[in-house]
Amino acid sequence: MAEPSYFLVLLLFFCSLFLKSQSFDFVYNGFNGSDLVLDGYARIKDKALKLTDRSQNVIGHAFFPKPIPMFKNSSLDVSTFSTHFVFQIVPSDANRGGYGFAFILSPSTQLFGAQGGHYLGVLNPSNDGKSSNHLFIVEFDTVTGYNETSDRYGNHIGINVNGMNSIASESASYYKGTQKKEDVDLEEKEPIQAWIDYDGLAKQVNVTVSPLSVSKPIKPLISIFIDLSPVMKDYMYAGFSAATGEKKASSHYILGWSLKLNGFSDPLDVSQFSPIPAEQSSSSQNKLKRALIVTFSVVLFILLLALLSIFVYRKVMKFDVLEDWELDCPHRFRYKDLHVATRGFKESEIIGVGGFGTVYKGVLRATGAEVAVKKIISNDTLKGTREFAAEIESLGRLRHKHLVNLQGWCKNKSNLLLVYDYVPNGSLHSLLYSSKKGTVLSWEQRFNIIKGIASGLLYLHEEWEKVVIHRDVKSSNVLIDRNMNARLGDFGLARLYDHGQNSHTTNVVGTIGYIAPELTRTGKASKSTDVFAYGILLLEVACGRTPVVYQPDRNVILVDRILDCLQMSNIFDAVDPKLNSTYTIEEMELVLGLGLLCSHRKPEARPTMRQVIRYLNRDEILPVFDNLNSFGSKRADQIRSRFKALGLTDDSIITTSSIHSSSVGEMSSSSFEITGR
């Protein structure tokens, strides 16, 4: 009887740990002293969160400060979540107000460029409907909707994804029982409660509303099936956004709010809410506005002179003049904020140095978020600006969990700055070659890293709206996050072109050891040249050696060493000795073979990144290892002969050493424009 009891205790213990790791919840029974992230008009007033007042063209945002882990452990499915809040809308006493508010899940607490009116302070005409927004929105709208067809009557509730067109919409009401509906006027000056529930297993969203005096109805107002996994990022922020317009305005209040991950949100204690204070009438406000206008007219001339002086100063000094490439770029930071964040670009904050600039760790004073600030350095101002623009154009609109996220940029005088997510564990290169004890990457971590890089390259090559050629895949451009996942960064050399077209680049760029041999002849980068660099990276991760080891008497080429070991019938002699033979033989054999195949001298012999993913996931068997003996010298002889048949021999591989020692075709090595970083 002792053994079952012991097993039951262990089971309960591990279950509690799992549930604890998945838990995330909070409750606000009023907002006094709360730590919400507020933006725009939003403020705390008399224990209530006030998003807007009844002024024209006002926007207010409020977010819970901590990001929510949206995905289950080791799962691609969005976690179940539930939120409950109480709101009150106070319209203008002259006519009905507007425009409403929205509950949102956003990858950031900053909604840059958002407009009021029908956009509810969430989006604008240029980004409305784009899949890169990663926004889940439930709107509580009080005027004729953004989409006249679906929201024609106003006073409605809608579910939106990435834009203001509702995928489901209903007039505000609630069910009494399961059949009879009662209308709810969102502007009836009384508190209303709302529930938003998402079932991650069934992939179903339910939205329910009712007056504060009515308990949660059994039947939801809106219930649709939608998979939110493509919309959600790993971490999202929950919050509210409200807006007024030019002719219509209301005060929007949130009185209480709760949210829970993997469970139903906690009930709110209505007794702790404070009544909404009486607001001034429109006539009183108009009198106040007239008085303010008279007062402001006294100093208007001085203000105009000041603005004119600033304009002339910037025009003459040519500071902050926007160029064409700047117009469609992501958020622009103020140089002052980045200077403060990096403590004046102090040397102690440097976390990386490359050929194109220095990277500093920074902490944004407004949000407390950690960022990495890359300061571009170039003697050639035009070239530096060109590389700067290339990185913004490419990385600024890319969104993938295995790519470094570009938050924004800054251009001030001769300073060119890029702001990224801070990735705490540094580069793959630093971890591979670190001499510190306890920093050796395990084989499990290495295999996970190379699969992550492959996933990021597949997104760049085939899954984004354009083809992106990175052109500088290497270990120092792979950053490792807190969970030891890989993120490919540094897009300063990247080039974009449309699917179905060919790249037009004609200069050889990249880093010695990772440059595909055909680049030295044609100068044209392609998806295949990225695959070549990825193949070298595979061998580097497996062997713990740089692609080229420079020595006084001769240069040791990594590919040559692996082929030597292959000729000696033991390819595992090339494996990183730091692993102490602690690795999965089949996986190591796969990585070494795939690395050699990806770095084949002939581009047409290399696999695509989609094929690479299939090999790494064991969906397909690498041709070299198909139908082999299980073990022994016979298997080794078969592998060696198959590599030879594929053209992978010492004399057929064009290595970096051959670039320096001889000419290729009629072009000498001295004519190459090779950029190493």
| Farthest-apart Cα atoms in the chain, separation | 96
- Report the alpha-carbon distance of residue 342 to residue 361 in Å, rounded: 6
Torsion angle of alpha carbons 209, 211, 215, 216, nearest 10°?
0
Q: Which DSSP helix (H) or strand (E) runs through 421?
A: strand 415-421
Q: Residue 258 in contact with residue 28, Cβ under 8 Å?
A: yes
Catalytic residues: 472
Candidates 486, 425, 476, 492; CA nearest to 455 is: 486
Beta bridge partners of 43: 50
Angle between helical axes of 585-598 and 633-645 (0-180°, round to 10): 20
Q: Where are the alpha helices (DSSP H) in 471-629?
A: 519-522, 527-543, 558-567, 585-598, 609-616
The two tokens of residue 264 are 């139903």
Task: State which amino acid sits at residue 95.
Answer: N
- Report the alpha-carbon distance of residue 464 to residue 489 in Å, rounded: 16
DSSP string, 87-123: EEEEE-SSS----EEEEEEES-S--TT--SGGGTTT-
- Do the annotations mark residue 375 as ligand-binding? yes
Hunting for tokens 């064409």 — which residue is that?
324
Beta bridge partners of 105: 136, 238
Q: Residue 571 in contact with residue 588, Cβ under 8 Å?
A: no
Beta bridge partners of 52: 252
Q: Residue 516 in contact with residue 508, Cβ under 8 Å?
A: no
- Report the alpha-carbon distance of residue 574 to residue 497 in Å, rounded: 38
Q: Residue 501 in contact with residue 400, Cβ under 8 Å?
A: no
Give CA separation, 139 vs 49, 62, 100, 160, 268, in Å.
17, 15, 7, 8, 21
* Number of residues that make up the chain: 677
Residues near 396 by beta carbon (within 8 Å), at least 6 away in sequence: 329, 330, 406, 409
- Report the alpha-carbon distance of residue 181 to residue 170 in Å, rounded: 12
Phi and psi torsions of 75, nearest 5°: -145, 150
- Report the alpha-carbon distance of residue 552 to residue 126 in Å, rounded: 57
Task: State which amino acid sits at residue 205.
Answer: V
- Report the alpha-carbon distance of residue 426 to residue 346 in Å, rounded: 19
Binding-site entries? 375
Binding-site entries for ATP? 375
